[in-house]
């Protein structure tokens, strides 16, 4: 079982900071565009993991963030992952180069054109709709999304 965080930093124009995962060869997210975040270290809370991972990957220290949901990933290839999903609108510092890929500010209306996991498209829609805190289960066979459930109710795919 994996515990992780993912955060979408939103600037004053409403763009999200996205990470194009290109630098690690053995990366389940290779060539995909995702938010920033990562795996818990022993003893960390979701917030501690969020703050550490965002600073490590971007150089930015979050000052205003919001917990938006929990996403459960079930896969026939990888361990089950429980990802704590956040958005952020405040930070200090200067954006730096990320050792996991390229960081870029992307307009929300351009996100759909980027290579992403199908399930990411679901939770990005929930974020855009300002959905209240949610639990989303995403089941994959390989890279194919075969089942999704929002707050325990199956979604039509």
Domain architecture of the chain: domains with CATH: 2-71+83-133 (3.90.79.10)
For residue 61, what are its two tokens? 């220290």
Token look-up 């003893």 returns 43
Give one DSSP letter per residue of 30-52, joined into a string: TT-EE-EEEEPPTT--HHHHHHH
What residue ranges of the chain have pLDDT lower than 50? none
40-77: per-residue pLDDT in tens?
Answer: 999 999 999 999 999 999 999 999 999 999 999 999 99
Which pLDDT belongs to residue 21? Answer: 76
Per the confidence metrics, is the pTM higher than 0.85? Answer: yes
CB atoms under 10 Å from CB of 156, counted, come to 4
Which pLDDT belongs to residue 26? Answer: 64
Which pLDDT belongs to residue 23? Answer: 60
């Amino acid at each position: 079982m994996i515990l992780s965080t993912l955060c979408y930093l939103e600037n004053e124009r409403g763009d999200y900071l996205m990470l194009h995962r290109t630098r690690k060869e053995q990366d389940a997210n290779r060539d995909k565009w995702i938010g920033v975040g990562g795996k818990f270290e022993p003893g960390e809370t979701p917030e501690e993991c969020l703050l550490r991972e965002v600073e490590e990957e971007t150089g930015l220290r979050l000052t205003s963030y919001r917990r938006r949901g929990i996403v459960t990933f079930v896969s026939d290839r990888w361990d089950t992952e429980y990802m704590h999903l956040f958005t952020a609108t405040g930070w200090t510092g200067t954006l730096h180069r990320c050792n996991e890929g390229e960081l870029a500010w992307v307009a929300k209306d351009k996100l759909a054109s980027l290579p992403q996991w199908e399930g990411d498209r679901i939770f990005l829609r929930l974020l855009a709709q300002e959905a209240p805190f949610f639990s989303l289960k995403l089941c994959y066979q390989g890279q194919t999304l075969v089942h999704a459930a929002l707050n325990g109710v199956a979604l039509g795919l």
